[in-house]
Amino acid sequence: MSGVRVLVGTRKGAFILTADATRRRWDISGPHFAGWEIYHLKGSPADPDRLYASQTSGWFGQVIQRSCDGGKTWEAPGGGVTQEPGQMPQGESNKFAYDVSPESGKPLTTHQWYDGTQHPWEFKRVWHLEPSFTDPDAVYAGVEDAALFRTSDGGTTWQELAGLRGHGTGPKWQPGAGGMCLHTILIDPSNSRRLYIAISAAGAFRSDDGGDTWRPINRGLHSQYIPESTAEVGHCVHRLALHPSRPNVLFMQKHWDVMRSDDGGDSWREVSGNLPSDFGFVIDVHAHEPETIYVVPIKSDAEHYPPEGKLRVYRSRSGGNEWEALSKGLPQRDCYVNVLRDAMCVDTLEPCGVYFGTTGGQVYASADGGDSWTPIVRDLPAVLSVEVQALP
């Protein structure tokens, strides 16, 4: 590997940080899309120079951006300036229309609103982009209000996989404080027909047929903030993670509780163990050790900052239950930032690199599996997402 590229989405633009394989010196480019909220950027595993970004604004809505040169230049796919009106591109790369067609779609059902009434689905933004392992033009998008879309033409057009929204439990889904978002998409590396997604606040779901049909996988979850604590849906799952070598083993950071499944989500058990708080947003798995996992405990659902003002990553080398605090290089006093659900990632170098970004604008990196940390940039806008690519 020649180096790494870290893709950072923030409240006011995107930033791209690059380093060689030592991961000691970093070059920073940006802001890209200055002034816009960048919920997520991610590169294609099939072509590292192909990047996708979700660019959103309360004023102007959703824009999808694509780069074919590793983030040096960007374009809205299919949306170039038209000189010949008769040959105009469709300009639909930001069109996320729920599928209500009688042939392939489902009726545009309602979901539960904050006041308990039913509310129609309304597209707001793309939270997460998950490119295919094999095709640079194929990408899944998780959106708010919760639904799953897919492009097979590099983001020029998007189609809803309506079997998720319409499979039957939708009227029981409800928005969390951040909106009703589909924020996690995991593709089974050994079987691209198997997909996992997670929604706040509905729970986790699995498809075994490439996204056509879905079922909830929330057995074993307990949530005190819903009337029936073990209900089939309604759980506020914050993040899922898996290791490519063992795709049936899933890890979950829930609103409260860190959970584990050894059967592809059919059942879950709590592995919060000795964490100082089992509330949090991020969770990830070491690139080379499938039983080594990372979380960043947050004090509570009402106090979104680290316990005791100490920013600590917790690592378990046993797949949960036994956790150790990792604090070397992280602020250990007066720290009141949050780490949002898409803002942690790992690289595949040796030793494994771990990265996370904060709402205070810092991105921290560890080039030794979490033993020590360094801020690789300190003063960005609030960080929404962090992804890393190992460059060939």
Partner 1 sequence: MIRVVLPPHLRTLARVADEVTLDVPAAVPLTRAAVLDALEARYPMLRGTIRDHVTAQRRPFLRFFACARDLTHEPADAVLPGAVASGEEPLLIVGAIAGG
Decide whether 96 or 294 has the Cβ nearer to partner 1: 96
Buried b / exposed e across 260-293, counting CB within 10 Å, b at 16+? bbeebbeebebbbeebbbbbbbbbbbbbeeeebb
Q: How far is the CB of 223 from partner 1 (least distance, A)?
A: 31
Residue with tokens 């036994």: 322
Q: Which of 27, 60, 191, 209 binds partner 1 (CB under 8 A)?
A: 60
**DSSP annotation string for 299-340:** S-SSS-S-GGG---EEEESSSSSS-EEE-TTS--SS------
Q: Which of 81, 87, 115, 302 binds partner 1 (CB under 8 A)?
A: 81
Counting contacts by CB under 8 A, is residue 171 touching partner 1? no
Q: Which of 1, 29, 72, 97 binds partner 1 (CB under 8 A)?
A: 97
DSSP 231: -
Q: Which of 2, 25, 58, 392 binds partner 1 (CB under 8 A)?
A: 58
Counting contacts by CB under 8 A, is residue 244 touching partner 1? no
Residues 6+ apart with CB under 8 A from 31: 10, 12, 13, 14, 15
Choose the binding region for partner 1 from 14-22, 75-83, 219-227, 307-315 (rule: CB under 8 A).
75-83
Counting contacts by CB under 8 A, is residue 35 touching partner 1? yes
- Would you tell me how many other CB atoms lie within 10 Å of the CB of residue 193? 12
Decide whether 145 or 278 has the Cβ nearer to partner 1: 145
Instruction: Output the six-digit token pair for 193.
Output: 């027909």
Residues 41 and 370: their CA atoms lie apart, in Å, by 23
Decide whether 98 or 140 has the Cβ nearer to partner 1: 98
Q: Rounded to whole angstroms, what are the CA distances from 344 to 25, 178, 259, 273, 372? A: 20, 18, 17, 21, 15
DSSP 228: S
Counting contacts by CB under 8 A, is residue 353 touching partner 1? no
Counting contacts by CB under 8 A, is residue 116 touching partner 1? no
Choose the binding region for partner 1 from 84-92, 131-139, 167-175, 215-223 (rule: CB under 8 A).
84-92
Decide whether 60 or 114 has the Cβ nearer to partner 1: 60
Counting contacts by CB under 8 A, is residue 231 touching partner 1? no
Q: How far is the CB of 57 from partner 1 (least distance, A)?
A: 7
Counting contacts by CB under 8 A, is residue 72 touching partner 1? no
| Sign of the Cα pseudo-torsion (302, 305, 309, 313, in order) | positive
Counting contacts by CB under 8 A, is residue 92 touching partner 1? yes
Backbone angles phi, psi at 165, to 5 degrees: -60, -30
Choose the binding region for partner 1 from 31-39, 275-283, 305-313, 337-345 (rule: CB under 8 A).
31-39
Instruction: Output the six-digit token pair for 292.
Output: 């080594």
Choose the binding region for partner 1 from 61-69, 111-119, 215-223, 367-375 (rule: CB under 8 A).
61-69
Q: How far is the CB of 92 from partner 1 (least distance, A)?
A: 7
Residues that bind partner 1 (CB under 8 A): 34-36, 57-63, 76, 78-82, 85, 88-97, 123
